[in-house]
């Protein structure tokens, strides 16, 4: 067996079933071996029938009777009785008519399933059954549960894994042997065997440590190699002008925080170097990142260089242009600011390009389309990226090809990043933290509400709306779902505009709208054409509506902690007190996650808690970075992350040629191309 062998070479996988596997991205034996279980069910303890307790159980017993019959509406029921030396138990299957003929009296079976009370009798409902003489795949063991698709179950995937076991137990090693030995790791083949065929909790822990280490090691290696490459490039040096900095700060309508001063100085020192800056500024909502970015930009502008600021959406680009213009106007640099976005007509685009080429516009603000436009960027010295999580190697090379040099890069994010995450994925970045908020900004008042209190809550909200304020209402779904119990944006929109707030102007915004439609709706809300905007999380990042003082999150238990904190940051951005109301879907006990949000406005503390609560899994939540999600490693495992990162650094320092490690080279090359450079 070879990793490149197609799955249809395995017994039991024909062309039709192979297509099902392809839906999951599984085409070869290598793909299958690399398909990690999402959880496990433990049926490894075989129990005597007279000792059974409700829950997941396994027994070793013989079948003494079995029969099948059709009941109402064509439903088929198979009933059997299993017996061991201590007693007997009833087995029931629904719509599995083949069961009765498959069960042979007198044969010994392993039987695993859920032991539960039904109609005043304990039964095993829809259990898995395998001959005790065979190697069990779906009974009497720890069962891996995989992500499934229609027509392809974990049971079938486990059978395929068993048939592919010879390959799994012979996969090539992907880490240098010295690292495997020094870190006391299991081999790759042993780890995969333990992962797919665990016999104990210890097996699983061994597999998770090895495979988790490899995940973090590869990510760290990719980011460190990117950082190393970046240092070999040349940037335009931007000298520090102390008088200009003092003039800029002196014209601000507020006092800078100590954190802003510290971060600005870190950036100024970077800009003076010939080595390209690659710095990430992370700061909670309202910590003043835009001002720090403007402080950096003005140094480049004063020396005749160009600056580009890229935002995720046109609306945010326009908001940035307005803010930057106001910040630069008192010191005479407002005329250098220009906007270049996709929705401009051709004549305006041509005019903007001409002004950039002539030097009349030196501070270009737009979306990522900015670097794709045919713009003269020979003097581009600094790029500022706001919440752009796909600005990677390819975009850097595009800019370098245009400008003839590598620009300094300053990235901004309002998502507080736990230290372990920063070490793992942002290893190529120098990270600055804005951990203070400007004085005078009031903390947002956060409250949890059950559906029973909706009427009283709406009365409180109406009192705010009467004062001329506005409200965001955020829902987890666009339309109602039969799979998920949660309030949808369309349902809530209809309820509010036709009943609860029928005297108010209510708008609707969601991801299925065309970009220009979303832009129009948001601009209407900014202009106060709507009192209430019902939305999905498309309003999560960066939207600035100072008059919006209320955030109501429907089915709030469906959102992640970091996401809720980001949403909460959309309000309280003006002079008025901000309120965030977390509405529950039902009256079940409130989660630790929501209680934490209710009691704290500290995004960094909440980010650490979110990390603890999530365990292994998505690094980027619902963003487009599925390729970088951790499948095994826990971001809360500081020791593992530290040792994996150190091992990656030591491998680079050794000067070893990675080409000799084929599997590692393939993985790291892929990760280098997509690693978040923010």
Q: pLDDT tens digit string along 225-271? A: 888 888 888 899 999 999 999 999 999 988 999 999 999 999 999 99
Residue 257 backbone dihedrals phi, psi, to 5 degrees: -80, 160
pLDDT, residue 575, reads: 81
pLDDT, residue 470, reads: 94
> Average of pLDDT values for 435-460?
87
Bigger pLDDT: 357 vs 494 = 494
pLDDT tens profile 156-190: 999 999 999 999 999 999 999 999 999 999 999 99
* 503's tokens: 């005297």
pLDDT, residue 147, reads: 92
CA pair distance 59, 383, nearest whole angstrom: 65
Distances (CA, A) of 373 to 1, 2, 350, 357, 367: 50, 46, 10, 12, 11
pLDDT tens profile 498-551: 999 999 999 998 878 887 788 888 889 989 999 999 998 877 555 678 899 999
How many separate helices (H) and strands (E) can be counted in the chain?
A: 23, 20
pLDDT tens profile 308-334: 898 877 878 888 898 999 999 999 999
Which of 276, 231, 218, 277 is closest to 675 using CA atoms?
218
pLDDT, residue 627, reads: 46
pLDDT, residue 616, reads: 44
pLDDT, residue 205, reads: 94
Kindly give the pairing relationship between strand 337-340 and strand 506-509: unpaired
Q: Is the pLDDT of residue 343 over 80?
A: no
pLDDT, residue 160, reads: 96
> Average of pLDDT values for 387-403?
62
CA pair distance 655, 657, nearest whole angstrom: 6
pLDDT, residue 574, reads: 76
Average pLDDT, the chain: 86
* 282's tokens: 């992370």
* Banded model confidence at residue 676, pLDDT cuts 50, 70, 90: very low
> Average of pLDDT values for 403-423?
76
Q: What is the DSSP letter of 431?
A: E
Q: Is the pLDDT of residue 626 over 50?
A: no
* Banded model confidence at residue 418, pLDDT cuts 50, 70, 90: low
Q: Is the pLDDT of residue 440 over 70?
A: no
In this structure, the number of other CB atoms found within 10 A of the CB of residue 418 comes to 19
Of the given ranges (61-70, 127-136, 597-606), which has the lowest mean pLDDT?
597-606
Of the given ranges (37-46, 465-474, 593-602, 621-630), which has the lowest mean pLDDT?
621-630
Which of 356, 288, 343 is closest to 317 using CA atoms?
343
Q: Which residue has the tokens 């529950």?
A: 584
Distances (CA, A) of 525 to 128, 342, 473, 536: 56, 21, 12, 15
Q: Is the pLDDT of residue 637 over 70?
A: yes
> Average of pLDDT values for 349-373?
81
- List CB contacts of 355: < 8 A, sequence separation 6 or more: 338, 361
Distances (CA, A) of 391 to 12, 273, 319, 465: 44, 22, 21, 40
Asked if 210 contacts 185 with a C-beta cutoff of 8 angstroms, the reply is yes
Give me the domains of the chain, ranges plus CATH numbers.
45-140 (2.40.50.140), 242-272+288-413 (3.40.50.300), 445-600 (3.40.50.300)
pLDDT, residue 134, reads: 81
pLDDT tens profile 455-480: 999 999 999 999 999 999 999 888 76
**String of DSSP letters for 624-646:** S-GGG--SS--TT-HHHHHHHHH
In this structure, the number of other CB atoms found within 10 A of the CB of residue 28 comes to 17
């Amino acid at each position: 067996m070879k990793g490149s062998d197609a799955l249809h070479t395995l017994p039991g996988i024909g062309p039709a079933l192979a297509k099902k596997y392809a839906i999951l991205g599984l085409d070869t034996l290598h793909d299958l071996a690399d398909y990690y279980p999402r959880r496990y069910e433990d049926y490894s303890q075989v129990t005597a029938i007279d000792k059974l307790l409700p829950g997941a159980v396994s027994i070793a017993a013989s079948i003494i009777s079995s029969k099948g019959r059709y009941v109402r509406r064509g439903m088929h029921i198979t009933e059997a009785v299993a017996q061991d030396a201590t007693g007997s138990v009833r087995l029931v299957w629904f719509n599995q008519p083949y069961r009765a003929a498959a069960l042979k009296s007198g044969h010994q079976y392993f039987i695993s399933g859920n032991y539960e009370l039904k109609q005043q009798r304990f039964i095993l409902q829809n259990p898995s059954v395998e001959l005790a003489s065979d190697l069990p795949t779906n009974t009497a063991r720890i069962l891996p549960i995989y992500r499934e698709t229609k027509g392809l179950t974990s049971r079938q995937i486990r059978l395929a894994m068993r048939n592919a076991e010879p390959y799994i137990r012979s996969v090539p090693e992907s880490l240098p042997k010295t690292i495997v030995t020094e870190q006391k790791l299991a081999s790759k083949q042993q780890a995969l065997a333990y992962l797919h065929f665990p016999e104990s909790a210890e097996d699983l822990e061994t597999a998770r440590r090895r495979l988790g280490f490899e995940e973090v090691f590869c990510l760290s290696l990719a980011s460190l190699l990117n950082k190393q490459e970046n240092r070999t490039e040349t940037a335009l040096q931007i000298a520090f002008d102390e008088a200009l900095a003092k003039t800029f700060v002196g014209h601000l309508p507020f006092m800078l925080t100590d954190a802003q001063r510290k971060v600005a100085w870190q950036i100024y020192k970077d800009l003076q170097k010939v080595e390209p800056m690659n710095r990430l500024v992370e700061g909670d909502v309202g910590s003043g990142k835009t001002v720090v970015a403007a402080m950096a930009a003005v140094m480049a502008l004063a020396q005749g260089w160009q600056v580009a600021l890229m935002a995720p959406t046109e609306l945010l680009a326009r908001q940035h242009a307005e803010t930057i213009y106001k910040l630069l106007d008192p010191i005479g640099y407002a005329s250098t600011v220009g906007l270049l976005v996709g929705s401009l007509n051709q004549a305006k685009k041509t005019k903007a390009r001409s002004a950039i080429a002539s030097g009349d516009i030196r501070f270009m603000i737009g979306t990522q389309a900015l670097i794709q436009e045919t713009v003269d960027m020979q003097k581009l010295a600094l790029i500022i990226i706001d919440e752009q999580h796909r600005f990677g190697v390819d975009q850097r090379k595009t800019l370098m090809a245009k400008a003839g040099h590598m620009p300094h890069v300053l990235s901004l994010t309002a998502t507080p990043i736990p230290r372990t995450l920063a070490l793992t994925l942002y290893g190529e970045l120098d990270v600055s933290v804005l951990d203070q908020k400007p004085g005078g900004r009031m903390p947002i008042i956060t409250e949890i509400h059950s559906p029973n209190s909706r009427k009283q809550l709406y009365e409180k909200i109406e009192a705010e709306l009467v004062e001329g304020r506005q409200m965001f209402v955020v829902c987890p779904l666009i339309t109602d779902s039969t799979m998920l119990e949660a309030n949808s944006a369309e349902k809530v929109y209809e309820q509010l505009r036709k009943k609860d707030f029928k005297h108010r102007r209510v708008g609707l915004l969601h991801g299925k709208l065309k970009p220009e439609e979303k832009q129009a709706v948001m601009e209407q809300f900014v202009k106060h054409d709507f009192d209430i905007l019902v939305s999905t999380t498309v309003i999560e990042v960066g939207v600035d509506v100072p008059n919006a003082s209320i955030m109501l999150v429907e089915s709030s238990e469906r959102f992640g902690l970091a996401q809720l904190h980001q949403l909460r940051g959309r309000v309280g951005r003006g002079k008025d007190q901000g309120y965030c109301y977390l509405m529950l879907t039902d009256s079940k006990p409130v989660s630790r996650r929501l209680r934490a949000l209710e009691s704290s406005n500290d995004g960094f503390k909440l980010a650490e808690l979110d990390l603890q609560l999530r365990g292994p899994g998505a690094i980027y939540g619902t963003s487009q970075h599925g390729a970088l999600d951790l499948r095994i490693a826990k971001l809360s495992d500081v020791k593992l992350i530290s040792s994996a990162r150190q091992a990656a650094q030591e491998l680079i320092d050794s000067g070893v040629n990675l080409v000799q490690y084929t599997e590692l080279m393939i993985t790291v090359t892929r990760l280098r191309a997509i690693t978040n450079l923010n």
